[in-house]
Amino acid sequence: MSKTKPSIPKGMRDFNSNVMFRRNYIFETVKTAFECYGYAPIETPAMENIQTLTGKYGDEGDRLIFKVLNSGDFLSKVNIDKDTDSKNLTKSIVEKALRYDLTVPFARFVAQNRNDITFPYKRYQMQNVWRADRPQKGRFREFFQCDADVIGTDSLLCEVELIQLYDEVFTKLKIPNVTIAINNRKILSCMVELMDTESLFDDIVIILDKIDKIGIEKVKNEIEILGVDKSSLSILDSFLNAKSIDDLSTLLNKSEIGSKGLQELKFIFDNISKLGLQSACLSLDVSLARGLNYYTGCILEVKANDVVIGSIGGGGRYDNLTSIFGLKDVSGVGISFGIDRIYIVMQELELFPANIDTTTKILFANFGETETAYCLPLLKNLREQGINSEIYPKNDKIKKQMAYANSKGIQFVIIVGEDEMDSGVLSVKNMESGEQINLSVSEMLKQFS
């Protein structure tokens, strides 16, 4: 058998134990906040039917969907001729795809399980998603999303609550200087309407979504290439220069849809102002577009300003998503935490707690079969009391066993030799301070319980 060099696909990652301890710390913080706010967990499959996903994210999103070839001899029933191209060939050989996000599968889940759901329905979901994107810092082909959504109500109290939820999590994670940017797709619709470019709405939104990467001038250049004239670009400038609700009100006072979007934003700002945020700042950003097709109302994006990483969260209101799956007039709103980018932010700002790298608090050294037999009941007792403990598996040199404890960040090593068994007094070494004390079995169990 030929040897295979161990490798993983580009944009995918292994996570060692040190990384997983930190990731799990973030997961547990987010999960605790979700459940505190009344959200219940669900999971959906890694694969969805291809028609479930395509057409929901715009052309750019559709290109990034990982398609899964049909099982077996997928070419046997395909007629290939000179007119066959990749697009129509894909339709013949692909029926499934890896999920691109968690929101569209959630909308499918709601429509499919409508008779078993009590509305409004609050769910959270913490699972992998896949995108055939170009890997770079903070952008991977497989990554984790943690979503919270409310569906079955158009109440703006949900947006207020989700902003508070963001603030709650980032406060608990001690991430400073966080900005939650907010806009409304109705305002973008009004802007495009005033520019007399309604037919180009999707194209303009996709270009606007790149403003942080390419800057305002290049955004305007790309929009001009679409055929937008100078007078329309001046309207775009007026909107992008708006920094407050008052600035927008003068631009939107003659537009019904724009005024509606403004009212929604005002409601959210007024309520957040009354409630207050602990560590985050809510900021109007008229350039915020969120290029996904399904958003219809308020949209959110979160940034940690002390690290150059892009957004660490985002979301918004969607009024029509479940109608694609046959469930009409059901509005929803949700947010997502970008766990992988949050990890990078916390790593760069050194925000992870000390001693996070191990689950083991106590290690029993191994001095042989007799000593091990003496230690096993003590080990069992500690574990029954919820104390994370282990015993070194072999009678290796004590130096090697101590090195093992140090490498795992274990706090205490209990040494039981012949003298300790005879006296019933154990030697307990604090691996951080180097101090060694003697404790009776009962004292040891009491101290660590």
Q: What is the CATH number of the domain that holds 25?
A: 3.30.930.10
Range with lowest mean pLDDT among 181-195, 197-211, 333-347: 197-211
- Tokens found for residue 145: 């999303």
Q: What's phi and psi for 202, nearest 5 deg? A: -60, -40
Residue 2 in domain: no
Query: Are 222 and 300 members of one domain?
Result: yes
Look at residue 93 and tell me if it is in a domain: no
Tokens of 249: 């009100």
Q: Which domain CATH number covers 441?
A: 3.40.50.800
Q: Is residue 86 part of a domain?
A: no
**Domain total in the chain:** 2
Same domain assignment for residues 303 and 412: no
Say yes or no: 187 and 301 in one domain: yes
296-303: average pLDDT: 96
pLDDT per residue as tens digits for the range 345-376: 999 999 999 878 778 999 999 999 999 999 99
What's the domain range around 113? 17-65+100-348
Last residue of a domain, one of 320, 348, 376: 348
Which residues partner with 136 through β-bridges? Answer: 139
User: Does 219 lie in the same domain as 256?
Assistant: yes
The reported pLDDT for the residue numbered 1 is: 65
What is the number of other CB atoms lying within 10 angstroms of the CB of residue 16?
7
Tokens standing for residue 43: 């999971």
Among the candidates 348, 370, 400, a domain finishes at 348
What is the side-by-side strand order in the sheet with 47-49? Answer: 47-49, 94-98, 67-69
Task: Look up tokens 């973030």; give the residue.
Answer: 26
pTM for the complete prediction?
Answer: 0.87
Amino acid sitting at position 320:
N
Residues found in the chain: 449
138 and 115, same structural domain? yes
My answer on whether 116 and 245 are in the same domain is yes
Residue 81 lies in a domain: no
Residue 287 has pLDDT above 70, yes or no: yes
SS3 120: coil
Is residue 78 in some structural domain? no
SS3 breakdown of the chain: % helix, strand, coil, rounded to 5? Answer: 45, 20, 35
Q: Are residues 214 and 304 in the same domain?
A: yes
pLDDT at 136: 83
Within its chain, how far is the Cα of 289 from the centroid? 19
Decide if 419 is inside a domain.
yes
Q: 145 forms bridges with which residues in the sheet?
A: 127, 338
Residues 327 and 372 in one domain: no
In this structure, are 129 and 272 located in the same domain? yes
> Which of 204, 180, 206 is CA-nearest to residue 190?
204
Which of these three, 303, 318, 348, is where a domain ends? 348
